[in-house]
Structure 1
Amino acid sequence: MTTHLRTTKAPLVTAHAKHLVAETGVLTNPYFRTLVDGSMSLESFRTSQEQLGFAVTYFARPMAALVSRIEHPADRIGILGNVVEEHGGFRPQEFHHETFRRFLASIGSDTAQLNGLKMMPAVHAYNSVLSAVCTWEDPQVGIGCMGAIEYAFASVSAITGNAIVNRGWVAQADLMHYGLHSEIDEQHAEDFFLLLEPHYRNPAARRRIDQGLGLGAYALNRLYSDLSELGRSQQN
């Protein structure tokens, strides 16, 4: 399965993001192969998704740091809108933190115990990478990194949602978090890529942008590889 935007005003950046996501192998990660082929158990999936919840809750924070580093107000709007959307359009019950917890409840997690759950080092490392690149590196690197993650996550959400519905773990009508992200993350990626496209023919800028895109694809793939290891340890 490949990620693509239906239409894009950032064709150069989008094309390279697509290439890097494919090259990195995010969408063919063992996590998704075992989820789709039926060898991942519901218990393993649940445990890994509980850990993923730490990344879901954290994701808006590096984006907010990145917004503060963008010089021109008009250039902040798309990413700022993404930050607001992560917070449910200011509706607390629609915060992504909350929609993901409702998803976890739908697959059998005891949400009352989640506040005491310990974050595994792999998720901590992923969150720290996003924070560092958005806070300290050139903004074009941070924008590329976050855009690549959003770009890939649209397909990640579709793969995950389809698999768990096909396996009978969740009804199509109850997908909640993954149903939403399979639809909106393409536009979120576009919001990032539009900031980069005007600079992509400049060799120095292109190096920074490509570095960010590659880091985003790598970080997401590494996260799911580690979640796959967690799942296997649960089954052994």
Structure 2
Amino acid sequence: MTLSQVSTVVHDPASVDDAITSRFSTRAFLPRPVPRETIEQILQVASRAPSGTNTQPWKVYVLQGDSLRSLSDKVCAAHDAIYADPQLAQDYREEYEYYPRKWVSPYIDRRRENGWSLYGLLGIAKGEKDKMHAQHQRNYRFFDAPLGFMFTIDRILERGSLLDYGMFLENIMVAARGRGLHTCPQAAWNGYAKIVLPHIGAGPDEMLVCGMSMGYADEAALVNGFHTPREPVASFTRWLG
């Protein structure tokens, strides 16, 4: 810790709050490029995330241009193949369980509300599997963002490091908002690690944590009007003492 860290005064807490509360999973981006200097600034700020014994377990791959488009083509082809033959899904598995094996309330209720609210906004009715597939595949096009990120972690690390990683990812998203950018964190890529990891040049000791899209939001896109609700503080807080 430096003296400046101890003595720094945040003079505009409202801006900090705005950067956090205006973050949402953006699902439509403009093609406008993001300067490399801006990306480096965001990652440098994000690296101040806390981690147990300062392990700093994150490793970042930034995709743009041909590398982004090529990965998208590969994964979209696999995604289409699975849609045509669901048995192929056995060849694509997540290396860690992101979601619970058994869904219970209230989590399953929030999940359903999230999915049907998004599809409802987009005019996708229950049972319209082709439209659902097409919308889900937007993940693998990074929602047309000019930047795609892949995050990996050393396989030797344990669940505590994934907690640290989450704080690093949140820092990225908040720092991006401070620079007028939007993001979408994406666990959708995890099942395609066997395609992603060789593409980005990750070593055999690395595990895919998630992907992320980043860029300037398309404010005219209908899908960007979708914002998920949050529980009130009273519903998840218990005061003791």
How high is the TM-score relative to the length of structure 1?
Answer: 0.28
Which structure has the highest strand share of the two? 2
Q: Which has the larger radius of gyration?
A: 2
Which of the two has greater helix per residue?
Answer: 1
